[in-house]
Amino acid sequence: MLGAMISFGIMSIGGRELSGDLSTVQILFWRSLIGFAIISCIVGRVGWDRVRTKNLRVHVGRNIAHFTGQFCWFYAIATITLAEVTALEFMTPIWTVLMAAVFLGEGLSRYRLLAVTLGFIGTAIIVRPGFTTVELGTIAGLGASLGYAVGMATARFLALRERTLPILFYMMAIQMPLAFVLVLTVSGWVWPSLANMPWIVLVGLTGLTAHFCINRAMSLAEAGAVTIIGFLRLPFMVLVGYLAYGEKPEVWLIGGSLLIVFGLYLNVRDSQVRDYQVRDSQVRDG
């Protein structure tokens, strides 16, 4: 998760640097193309039989949702502060809890309901509708968290059935054509300058390493521990935004983020208690 955090930080800076010359669609295209080229070389070396899947429809649905979230994310980091984008991303686990309850039939305990409530209150504090102008970048940040939540919910399904390599391969293989079709529909194509090429490579590479690290973390450690480490992304991105662009976080951002993080902590603790109860029941049943 520390590797994922560093990867997202570098990708955020790369996306911000490229946004001055390239559109969000073009950044997405280059990110997908670089990632697909890298993962194709890896698969070609280890064997194409390693990426066979019986869950192609799940991969397609997951990556359409993730691609939409990624588009919103790149747009958001070009228009609002990095800290605000990261804070709004903390809604992803909250959306995931609601989706699990509605579509997967998972129960909503008191702690989970409180976590959802705190998440919405924290988001309202950050966005402050009616008290300040809600920027399109803020709406895009919320859209990114929703798209990522769909991706996370379906990732649980795939992680139980497949290894990390096919999940990454189909992610790039599906999102690259989507980005290409989107580029064809948008006028004003601009070829990147030589100065932009290092940023393009970094965005493509870190987009791949971030998701590799997340999938590996989920397979090596408990979800609760992984999520808690993920909380460090907010202070990390505040630091990146301050050092790279002089962005100073507002008190509303800090206050709203603390509520969201506390809600996430309650959700993690509730999950740990549920896991303990299940294991204890299994031990008593022999």
CA distance 63 to 116: 25
The three-state secondary structure class of 109 is coil
Distance CA 237, CA 142 (A): 17
What's the whole-number mean pLDDT along residues 232-245? Answer: 73
Helices of type H across 104-196: 110-127, 136-159, 164-185
Per-residue pLDDT of 84-135, as tens digits, reads 887 787 777 777 777 767 776 666 677 777 877 777 787 777 766 555 556 7
Distance in angstroms (rounded) separating the CA atoms of residues 76 and 74 = 5
- Position 236: which residue type? F
Q: What is the per-residue pLDDT across 240-277, written as a single tens digit (0 to 9) for each?
A: 777 877 877 777 777 877 887 787 777 677 766 666 66
Most confident among 18-22, 160-164, 282-286 (mean pLDDT): 18-22
> First CA to last CA across the chain, in angstroms?
35
The set of residues, in sequence order, having a beta carbon less than 8 Å from that of 29 and lying 6+ positions away, is 176, 179, 180, 182, 183
Mean predicted confidence (pLDDT) in 53-66: 91
State yes or no: pLDDT of 223 exceeds 60.
Answer: no
Nearest to 92, CA basis, from 110, 65, 111, 60: 65
Q: Decide: residue 47, CB within 10 A, 0-12 exposed, 13-18 middle, 19+ buried.
A: exposed
Q: How many angstroms separate the CA atoms of 213 and 203, rounded?
A: 15
Angle between helices 197-220 and 164-185 (to 10 degrees): 140
Angle at 124 between CA 2 and CA 118, to 5 degrees: 65
166-180 b/e (C-beta count within 10 Å ≥ 16 → b) = bbbbbbbbbbbebbe
Give phi and psi for 210, each to the nearest 5.
Answer: -60, -45
For 95, 142, 189, the CA distances from 101, given in Å and listed in that order, are 10, 20, 43
Nearest Cα to 173, choosing from 24, 18, 66? 66
Q: What is the pTM of this model?
A: 0.73
Q: Please tell me whether residue 132 adopts helix, strand or coil conformation.
A: strand
pLDDT tens per residue, range 37-53:
999 999 999 999 999 88
Give the total residue count for the chain.
286
Model pLDDT, residue 104: 60
pLDDT value of residue 272: 67
Contact 182, 29 (CB under 8 A): yes
Q: Compute the distance between CA of residue 73 and CA of residue 80 in angstroms, rounded to an integer.
A: 10
Query: What count of other Cβ atoms lies within 10 Å of the Cβ of residue 264?
Result: 24
